[in-house]
Amino acid sequence: MNDLVDVQRHGRVLVVAMRREAKRNAINRAMADALDDAFNVMEDDDDIWAGVLTGTETVFSAGSDLTANGDYVTERGGEYGLVRRVRRKPLVAAVEGPAFGGGLELVLACDLVVASTAAWFGLPEVGIGVVPTCGALFRAPRGFPANLARQLVLTGDPIPAQRAYEAGFVNVLCPPGYAGDEGLALATRVTRNAPVALQACMEAMNGLATSEDAAGWTATVAATSRVRESEDGREGVRAFLEKRAPAWTGR
């Protein structure tokens, strides 16, 4: 799609790889548009029956590029071109290295997860005085046991792939360097099944989740608005960009 996102077809599977490694695959406007284009192809091409989303060998994604100031929303896919997308086809996340913040929210927007033992999952937003805005506040408790989801959100501390696998969030755990291959293998396994049946199952499962998501998005907007109006929220982002420790006031 551009030099930020690589797209390749492997039989019935579309592999979408984020390639902004110098910025830890943080997503800005250009990258969101490229991801959106790729997932449009995945949904609209009848010859594609499943997809894989991956990063590089060292990082999946650090989520939002803070310098983008929230400008990474697309008309069809929402945040990052994926987070609010209505999909009929299964999507596998293949994770090497950290999937932090919006990076974990990208994984939560997928249907199956493959991770290498070098992968980490985390939601560090509270550490800079903000909240997860791309679905984690309601999707994390669905993907992880509730108390583990709360731990991720409230401490900001990441967990290793082994812990996520033991918790049932990761479907396939593999050695470092093999997440892409294993993700493609899992997606290819899915495409051995009848596409009409796959899409019917996806629509049924996603339909149930969508009905719950409406309340989740409302709660997320309320939390985000509260933080944006706070002194701590502004201080946290400033401190992050200035590479210093924040001085919290509780206001």
Angle (CA) 214-218-223 rounded to 5° is 145
Q: What is the CATH number of the domain that holds 148?
A: 3.90.226.10
Can you say whether the dihedral through the CA atoms of 103, 242, 219, 137 is positive or negative?
positive
In a domain, 238, yes or no: no
In a domain, 210, yes or no: no
Cβ-Cβ contacts under 8 Å for 167 (sequence gap 6 or more): 144, 145, 148
Cβ-Cβ contacts under 8 Å for 58 (sequence gap 6 or more): 21, 96, 97
Residue type, 112: L
- Give the residue from 66, 184, 202, 80 showing the smallest Cα distance to 134: 80
Catalytic hit among 43, 96, 105, 182:
105
105 tagged catalytic: yes
Q: Mean pLDDT across the stretch 52-68?
A: 95
Rounded percentage of the chain residues whose pLDDT exceeds 90: 89
- Give the residue from 99, 88, 173 showing the smallest Cα distance to 140: 99
In a domain, 109, yes or no: yes
The average confidence (pLDDT) of the chain is 95
Catalytic hit among 79, 96, 125, 182:
125
pLDDT at residue 162 tops 80: yes
229 tagged catalytic: no
Residue type, 42: M
In a domain, 229, yes or no: no
Provide the token pair at 65: 């590029």
The string of pLDDT tens digits covering residues 13-30 is: 999 999 999 999 999 999
Output the pLDDT for position 50: 98
- Choose from 25-34, 61-70, 231-240 the range with maximum mean pLDDT: 25-34
The string of pLDDT tens digits covering residues 187-217 is: 999 999 999 999 999 999 988 877 789 899 9
> How remote is the C-alpha of 43 from its chain's centroid?
18
In a domain, 74, yes or no: yes
Contact by Cβ (8 Å): 103, 140 = no
* Better-scored residue on pLDDT, 156 or 3: 156
Number of domains making up the chain: 1
CA–CA distance from 116 to each of 13, 142, 177, 182 (Å)?
Answer: 20, 22, 7, 9
pLDDT at residue 176 tops 60: yes
Task: Quote the CA–CA distance of 205 and 195 in Å, as a whole number.
Answer: 15
Q: Of all helices (H) and strands (E), which one includes residue 241?
A: helix 231-241
Task: Quote the CA–CA distance of 128 and 121 in Å, as a whole number.
Answer: 17
Q: Mean pLDDT across the stretch 228-237?
A: 90
CA–CA distance from 56 to each of 5, 171, 202 (Å)?
Answer: 11, 20, 28
In a domain, 208, yes or no: no
Which residues is 79 bridged to in the sheet?
73
Domain that holds residue 56: 5-195
Output the pLDDT for position 54: 98
In a domain, 206, yes or no: no
Cβ-Cβ contacts under 8 Å for 152 (sequence gap 6 or more): 104, 121, 122, 123, 136, 140, 144, 158, 159
In a domain, 160, yes or no: yes
Long-range contacts of 105-108 (CB under 8 A, 24+ apart): 105/63, 105/79, 105/80, 105/132, 105/134, 105/135, 105/136, 105/139, 106/53, 106/60, 106/61, 106/63, 106/80, 106/82, 106/134, 107/60, 108/135, 108/136, 108/139, 108/140, 108/143
